[in-house]
């Protein structure tokens, strides 16, 4: 218990804070106890409650122990304003992840059930608030006050329409992606991918890994340069060269490299929260595994924003637009966008369909070059 004396007792401690903490954990008449007796009473009560000095972060606490944190006394001088993304526990309380995909849990801030319910927090909400340190363990921080949620003042928040309840509209605006990679040209000029659509590039294997990785990186970089909204990414099992290429564009708040399924699900929630606040969201997913279908199904255009998804995978996943690689070649008959007539116009759609019938399978560069030659005749 030496650490307890360092943090709550001894020279420089705040006896009022220690007594308030003792009262909250159920110590009887703490204001009548001397310093030594108060320390002993706190020590006995902590043992009864299972509170130990070995709890280094919020994940070390049980659900019952967490509930006491929301009302715990905190050191006023420790309060600071922080930003994080809300991630709930099954019980409804949760944490603010300052770095949403960090492996360092000590940066997480506890959010009580009361605050989560008061402000209707959903997974992926971006929250700005005042954080205090729990006095019996300075490693555990607790959200005490909410200032902003998704960039709106907490006192003037408008009524939120959940993503799933926002009416969908037909995608009608083509997505623009800057870059010289031929796959980008196919996505824009042949498939005419619209904002709010899902595209699956399938058939990935060892024979086309370099083509696919380069395409994924260039798609992500192109979106960062041209997309007027939030850009997200998932890259799983990529080469060291690919990791190096990503290092210049990785945003730790919106990118996951070699993550876990629950992290991928959380990223999708962040994309939905972006659309709810009328900011378009687009994602490039490289080998996302079993969550690919969930992302593809979530793609949607609305009257105010859109959620666009481009997936590169070794599996076939239902989507609105499709492209298949066969080895290092593009399988031309696989180039389909069910909504291209709405995105690029009926006349352009018919011309693309007619020209593609004369283009044979080839590398992405060959297919794009042949298509461009014929469509301009």
Beta pairing class for 94-97 and 109-111: antiparallel
Helix 15-24 to helix 35-49 angle (10° resolution) is: 30
Residue count (the chain): 377
Q: Please state the pTM of the whole predicted model.
A: 0.83
Rounded-to-integer distance, Cα 179 and Cα 177, Å: 7
Beta pairing class for 152-153 and 230-235: unpaired
Rounded to the nearest 10°, the torsion over CA 121, 122, 126, 131 is 40
Beta pairing class for 281-286 and 230-235: parallel
Question: What was the pLDDT predicted at 139?
Answer: 66
What distances in angstroms separate CA 22 from CA 2, 246, 305, 362, one per listed residue?
A: 17, 50, 50, 74
Angle, alpha carbons 316-309-295 (nearest 5°): 65
Q: Which two tokens stand for residue 188?
A: 């824009």
Q: Which two tokens stand for residue 260?
A: 């876990």
Q: Which helix (H) or strand (E) holds 132?
A: strand 126-133
List, in sequence order, every residue forming a beta bridge with 198; answer none if it has no partner.
309
Rounded-to-integer distance, Cα 128 and Cα 112, Å: 15
330 SS3 class = strand
CB of 157 closer than 8 Å to CB of 277: no
Q: Which helix (H) or strand (E) holds 326?
A: strand 321-326
List, in sequence order, every residue forming a beta bridge with 375; answer none if it has no partner.
none
Question: What was the pLDDT predicted at 10?
Answer: 37
Rounded-to-integer distance, Cα 162 and Cα 151, Å: 16
Give per-10-residue mean pLDDT for the chain (377 aa).
34 62 83 76 75 67 79 62 94 92 80 93 95 70 91 83 96 93 96 97 96 96 94 95 86 88 95 96 97 97 97 96 97 96 93 93 97 89
Beta pairing class for 80-88 and 126-133: antiparallel
Q: Which two tokens stand for residue 18?
A: 């220690």
Rounded-to-integer distance, Cα 226 and Cα 245, Å: 18
H-only helix segments in 136-260: 182-185, 209-226, 240-246
Rounded-to-integer distance, Cα 127 and Cα 143, Å: 10
Going by C-alpha positions, the residue among 242, 234, 251, 338 that lies closest to residue 292 is 234
């Amino acid at each position: 218990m030496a650490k307890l004396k360092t943090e709550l007792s001894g020279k420089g401690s705040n006896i009022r804070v220690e007594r308030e903490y003792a009262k909250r954990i159920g110590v009887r008449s703490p204001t009548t106890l001397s310093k030594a007796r108060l320390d002993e009473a706190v020590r006995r009560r902590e043992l009864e409650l299972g509170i130990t000095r070995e709890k280094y972060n919020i994940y070390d606490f049980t659900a019952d122990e967490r509930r006491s944190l929301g009302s715990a006394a905190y050191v006023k001088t420790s309060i600071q304003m922080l930003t994080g993304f809300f991630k709930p526990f099954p019980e409804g309380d949760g944490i603010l992840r300052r770095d949403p995909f960090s492996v360092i849990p000590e940066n997480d801030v506890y959010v009580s059930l009361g605050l989560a319910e008061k402000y209707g927090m959903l997974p992926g909400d971006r929250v700005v608030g005042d954080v205090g340190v729990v006095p019996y363990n300075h490693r555990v921080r607790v959200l005490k006050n909410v200032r902003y949620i998704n960039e709106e003042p907490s006192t003037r928040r408008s009524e939120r329409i959940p993503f799933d309840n926002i009416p969908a509209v037909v995608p009608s605006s083509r997505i623009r992606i800057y870059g010289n990679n031929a796959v980008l040209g196919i996505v824009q000029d042949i498939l005419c991918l619209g904002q709010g659509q899902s595209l699956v590039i399938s058939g990935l294997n060892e024979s086309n890994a370099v083509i696919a990785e380069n395409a994924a990186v260039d798609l992500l970089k192109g979106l960062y340069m041209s997309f007027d909204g939030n850009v997200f990414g998932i890259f799983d099992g990529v080469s060291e060269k690919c990791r190096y290429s990503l290092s210049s564009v990785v945003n730790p708040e919106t990118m996951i490299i070699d993550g876990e399924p629950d992290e991928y699900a959380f990223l999708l929630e962040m994309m939905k929260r972006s659309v709810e606040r009328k900011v378009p969201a687009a994602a490039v997913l490289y080998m996302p595994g079993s969550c690919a279908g969930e992302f593809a199904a979530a793609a949607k255009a609305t009257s105010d924003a859109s959620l666009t998804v481009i997936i590169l995978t070794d599996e076939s996943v239902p989507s609105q637009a499709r492209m298949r690689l066969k080895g290092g070649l593009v399988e031309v008959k696989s180039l389909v966008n069910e909504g291209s007539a709405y995105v690029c116009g009926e006349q352009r759609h018919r011309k693309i369909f007619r020209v593609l019938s004369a283009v044979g399978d080839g590398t992405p560069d060959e297919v794009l070059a042949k298509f461009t030659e014929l469509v301009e005749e």
